[in-house]
Amino acid sequence: MLPQGEIPVYEQEKNTELKDSLIKSLQESGTPEDRVGRIMGVVETLLENDFLIDKISEEIVDEQEVWKHRLSRDDVTRRIRGSLFEEYALACRPEEKKQYENLERFLLWSLRDPHMWFMDWHDTRLLSEEEKTQLEAYLAAYPTSEELETLYRNNDAISVNIKKDETTGKEVAVITGVIEAKNHRVFGKTQDARQMRSSPQILHDTVKRYKEAFPLIVKGLDLQGEIHMPDEIDILPIGQLEYTIVQPDDVEEDYRRKPVSAQFSGCNFEYVPISRNEVAVLAEVLKQHVLDRLPEKNKRLVM
């Protein structure tokens, strides 16, 4: 979910202690020194620039308050592993694929809950008649609970390409793919396979429903200086959307011994330099820091 206001920076001295603990735990787990340095280069950026602890804590609060899920400490550990790997995997995307990163994040946040922007349109006097029509259509369309949960859980990132419509001369941001970070092997006849079949379709349908409104949202939030929003957004047909699964690098060895299920033959697989065990080691150190950041009422909800 898009943070409401600025997330507070984690205290510098605690950050230093935390990084020392993470390094020590990786070393004790047998991770080679050069690999420790490579992993920590990414993790330090996540801690200092991307507010990793706060993000994971907010996700747990959302699980409890938005999705009404009761979480045990084991559930929290699994979610920390998943969230840590997701942030790590997306941070490792090649620079050439981050050209429109802010726009991609904004569009995905918006699609996950389009009506979070209601409050920003209490005054419509500055809108043109065309924009008022767009706003009415936007407010009248509600995603279902299934769509919201799928968009929230099953799309870790989207990829966007910007092109010019030769007919209208307008600049169009075209969503070209879905990116999923999975800290485990994927098997056929599982939730992973069902997710792969359903989430691109739901993303496609949601974009088509709300695409007229996104430039309007940027105007309403006064984000023109922060996000370059083209005149329109669109999405490729389902059959042309790329589906990329990003995984820890040791999973690739598993697939060499036993190939990935044929159900995922249409997916692109990418691997980032961290193993499942290294994710688990880091998550164990992060867990208490994440729990400490929870509001008191949410701490009490962790069984």
Q: Which of 217, 238, 259 is the last residue of a domain?
A: 238
Final residue before a domain boundary, out of 184, 219, 238: 238
DSSP state of 117: G
Q: Mark whether 175 and 287 lie in a shared domain.
A: no
Position 109 in a domain = yes
Domain assignment present for residue 57? The answer is: no
Helix (H) or strand (E) holding 284: helix 276-293
Residue 183, token pair as written in the block: 């800290």
- For residue 131, the SS3 value is helix
Same domain (yes/no): 212, 286 = no
Structural domain boundaries enclosing 142 = 99-238
**Is residue 180 located within the same domain as residue 293?**
no
pLDDT digits (tens, 9 = 90+) for 198-215: 889 989 998 998 888 777
Q: Tell me, yes or no, whether 221 and 112 share the same domain.
A: yes
Q: What is the pLDDT along the chain (303 residues), one digit of tens a residue?
A: 334 444 445 456 667 889 999 999 999 999 999 999 999 999 999 998 878 999 999 999 988 887 788 888 899 999 999 999 999 999 999 988 888 998 899 889 888 877 766 555 556 677 788 888 877 877 777 777 778 777 877 789 999 999 998 999 999 999 999 999 999 999 988 889 988 888 899 899 989 988 887 777 777 777 767 778 888 899 999 999 999 999 999 999 999 999 999 999 989 999 999 999 999 999 999 999 999 999 898 988 886
Q: How many domains does the chain have?
A: 2
Distances (CA, A) of 194 to 144, 148, 197, 242: 18, 16, 5, 16
Burial tier of 110 (Cβ tally within 10 Å: 0-12, 13-18, 19+): buried
Between CA 81 and CA 288 the distance in angstroms is 13
Inside any domain, residue 259: no
* 37 found inside a domain: no
| 283 and 233 in a common domain | no
- pLDDT for the residue 197: 86
Note whether 117 and 218 are same-domain residues: yes
